[in-house]
Chains A and B, each alone.
Chain A
Amino acid sequence: MRILTKTSLYYLLVSLLVFLIGGVSFYKIMQIEIYDEVDDQLYTDQVNILGYIRQHNKLPSVTSGISEAIIVREADEVHKGIEELSDTLIFSTYDDEFVPFRRLTFTAYQNGKPYEYTILKSLIDFSDLFESTMLAMGWIFLLLLVGMGVVNYAINKYSWRPFYDTLTKVKSYGLSQHKPLHLNSSSTTEFQELNQVLQAMTAKIHHDYLNLKEFTENASHEIQTPLAILNSKIELFMQSENLTQQQAKLLEEMYSSVSRLSRLNKSLILLTRIENREYKVQEPIPLHLVIQEQLEQLQEMASMHQLIVLPPQLEPTFILMNQGLAEMLVSNLLTNAIRHNHEGGTIQVSLSPQELCVENTGEALEVAPELLFARFMSVKDSSGSLGIGLALVKKVCEIYAMTPSYAYANGKHSLCIRFQQKAALA
């Protein structure tokens, strides 16, 4: 939920509460005031009637005063001497509904004879007043809402803009872009502070990242020469006569470990170089031809694993990328399909200007599919695999904005690479 929506909701909640409490109190106060007023009027009539009787010693012939109705009748003995105020409902035939009335009942004496007076005053004005008050309050509430919307919109548009600006930039920031995070300055203190902190933080992280990367690169490169020496010395050693079987075995193991280490190191260097975008030369690569060529090269491998390479479905597709990387991408995908297969299995390659798919039979993955493209992720029985092939695939995909995906269904793995629309020129 956006912060403005959130504050607006709170604001709305509080306003609603205020209006509710305010409305009830207002109603109560109005009620007290109006009753007070109506009662005053009723008492005024009573005083007038009593005064008239005292002055003229006869009953006044009025049927109404300030009040709406004055009713007089002879009181029976039981009810004499009363004086009470009450609310009552009287049915109005004109309105066809009950109308609330305030009623004052008292006893007046004329020549010692008690008469019961009932003075009635309609409260209809009061309910009208209540209704219009509530209506007014409703309008005020509505206006408040509209006002809040306008203010929020303005705040969103102007005051929060630097914040959303920063957010967008941070979202698209990546360490491997080799560009410092540049944020626009803001006149709001908090945002300005946020920007400064973010910039300082990313600068520090970027610096550390570069250091680490430099170290890895140097380490990988510097390891190459000692490895070459080690490799050549062991090879010479192997040529010496009179090696015992045990020595020969030891040498062989050393040699194969050194070889493995060299291959690993080469792959890591390659990975770093792709990451550094050192393969700048780009040209439209006929991917269908690259696939055909790689398939031919790997045909033997496939047949030695008793795999059937189904006729590939290749549409002519040209992708703007580096030749070497294109070959590596295809070769790694195919090698992967051969490696993680079973005897008598199949491999199916299909290529369209939208995507490249390699489908192969094989056991279901034991690892989570999202880890498939991670480095050193290899299934335990595939000895000799460095587990770096798909990491290279992913890296190539990253720099050319392609999307690799993986699915497993009906005993078939399928690895697809979706090309960005504009990259497909065919």
Chain B
Amino acid sequence: MKILLIEDEQALSSSILTYLHHEGYNCEAAASYREARLKASDYTYACVIVDLTLPDGNGLEIVRLLKENNPETGIIIISAKNALDDKVTGLDLGADDYMTKPFHLSELNARLRSLIRRRNFNGQKTIRAGKLEVFPEQAAVQVEETTLTLTKKEYDLLLFFISNQKRVLTKDSIAEHLWGDHVEGLDSLDFVYTHIKNLRRKIVEAGGEDYIQTVYGLGYKFSCS
């Protein structure tokens, strides 16, 4: 799975690359508009992550270019400008997602996975993790033929975990993933705990294993091995 990351900030770019490498992506980086243009026209990528503010050009141009030449490519915009207009323009041009800096790497990863899933690049209709099988099209989850009854939030939470397997997820990033802009000040961190507790209980009751571990002081981790 080839991913192109267009980001001029070296330090941020290397963080993203490291995270995505661990996730098993084949990830390349471009640090300028020129470089990005060359790479985007020479190769085909499953997904491109593009920063809008580049020193020598506008990332929106690349979005436009990609949509013309490779409409299959998934595009995620990352921008320091929380500009609604930019977001609208970007999405209008055909970008699939828009994230504002700073963001959680786990969130970027989850969105990338979701995008790839939607584009169905690997031809799979379901996602397997241990005894769990997720059917994204129906938003349903099964544990060895037993269907789990999950709330919308619990489903989102499970998918977030499965997208970031063997990764420590902080309560902050989970809360932001689940509640977005509403996260601020709603004691959401306590609710994260409640949701995780319920999710664990439901999986175990249906015959699954307890895949979610508490990582002391940091957050939670999902692993099936």
A339 in the interface, Cβ–Cβ < 8 Å? yes
A235 in the interface, Cβ–Cβ < 8 Å? yes
Whether A248 contacts B218 by the Cβ 8 Å rule is: yes
Whether A228 contacts B103 by the Cβ 8 Å rule is: yes
Size of the B side of the interface (Cβ < 8 Å), in residues, is 45
Q: How far is the CA of A338 from the CA of B83 in the complex (A)?
A: 27
Whether B167 contacts A239 by the Cβ 8 Å rule is: yes
A251 in the interface, Cβ–Cβ < 8 Å? yes
Q: How far is the CA of A39 from the CA of B189 in the complex (A)?
A: 113
Q: How far is the CA of A262 from the CA of B80 in the complex (A)?
A: 11
Closest residue of chain B to A279, judged by CB? B84
B34 in the interface, Cβ–Cβ < 8 Å? no
Chain B 97-123 interface residues, beta-carbon cutoff 8 Å to A: 100-106
A238 in the interface, Cβ–Cβ < 8 Å? yes
Q: How far is the CA of A231 from the CA of B187 in the complex (A)?
A: 21
Closest residue of chain B to A238, judged by CB? B168
Q: Which of A263, A298, A328 has the most CB of B within 10 A?
A: A263
B24 in the interface, Cβ–Cβ < 8 Å? no
Size of the A side of the interface (Cβ < 8 Å), in residues, is 54
Whether B80 contacts A236 by the Cβ 8 Å rule is: no
Of A133-141, A382-390, A415-423, the one touching chain B: A382-390
Closest residue of chain A to B219, judged by CB? A252
A8 in the interface, Cβ–Cβ < 8 Å? no
Chain B 180-215 interface residues, beta-carbon cutoff 8 Å to A: 181-189, 191, 194, 215
User: Given A231-B103, A252-B218, do A384 and B185 touch, yes or no (CB 8 Å)?
Assistant: yes
Whether A225 contacts B170 by the Cβ 8 Å rule is: no
What secondary structure prevails in chain A residues at the interface with B? helix
Query: Per-residue 0/1 for A330-368: is the Cβ within 8 Å of any B Cβ (1 yes, 0 no)?
Result: 010001001100000000000000000000000000000
Q: How far is the CA of A263 from the CA of B175 in the complex (A)?
A: 13
Whether B179 contacts A232 by the Cβ 8 Å rule is: no
B32: min CB distance to chain A, Å: 16
A304 in the interface, Cβ–Cβ < 8 Å? yes
The residue that B168 contacts in the complex, of A227, A239, A269, A386, with Cβ under 8 A, is A239
Whether A235 contacts B15 by the Cβ 8 Å rule is: yes
Give every chain B residue within 8 A of A263 (Cβ-Cβ).
Answer: 183-184
Give the number of A-B contacts (CB < 8 Å). 127
Q: How far is the CA of A301 from the CA of B103 in the complex (A)?
A: 23
A259 in the interface, Cβ–Cβ < 8 Å? yes
Chain A 206-255 interface residues, beta-carbon cutoff 8 Å to B: 221, 224-225, 227-233, 235-236, 238-239, 243, 245, 248-249, 251-252, 255
Give every chain A residue within 8 A of B170 (Cβ-Cβ).
Answer: 235, 238, 252, 255-256
The residue that B101 contacts in the complex, of A225, A270, A300, A389, with Cβ under 8 A, is A225
Q: How far is the CA of A252 from the CA of B170 in the complex (A)?
A: 8
Whether A298 contacts B182 by the Cβ 8 Å rule is: yes
B182: min CB distance to chain A, Å: 6
B81 in the interface, Cβ–Cβ < 8 Å? yes
Closest residue of chain A to B186, judged by CB? A301
B19 in the interface, Cβ–Cβ < 8 Å? yes
Chain A 142-195 interface residues, beta-carbon cutoff 8 Å to B: none
- Rank and list the top 8 A-B pairs by shortest CB-CB distance, nearest first: A385-B185, A232-B15, A228-B102, A248-B217, A249-B217, A228-B101, A224-B80, A231-B102
Can you list 18 A-B contacts with CB-CB less than 8 angstroms, sorted by A residue number?
A221-B80, A225-B80, A228-B103, A232-B19, A235-B105, A249-B217, A252-B219, A259-B176, A267-B184, A301-B188, A305-B187, A322-B84, A335-B185, A378-B185, A382-B185, A384-B186, A384-B189, A386-B185
Measured CB to CB, the residues of A under 8 A from B are 221, 224-225, 227-233, 235-236, 238-239, 243, 245, 248-249, 251-252, 255-256, 258-259, 262-263, 266-267, 269-270, 273, 278-279, 281, 297-298, 300-301, 304-305, 322, 324, 328, 331, 335, 338-339, 378, 382-386, 389
Measured CB to CB, the residues of B under 8 A from A are 9, 11-12, 15-16, 18-19, 22, 80-85, 100-106, 153, 167-168, 170, 172-173, 176, 179, 181-189, 191, 194, 215-219
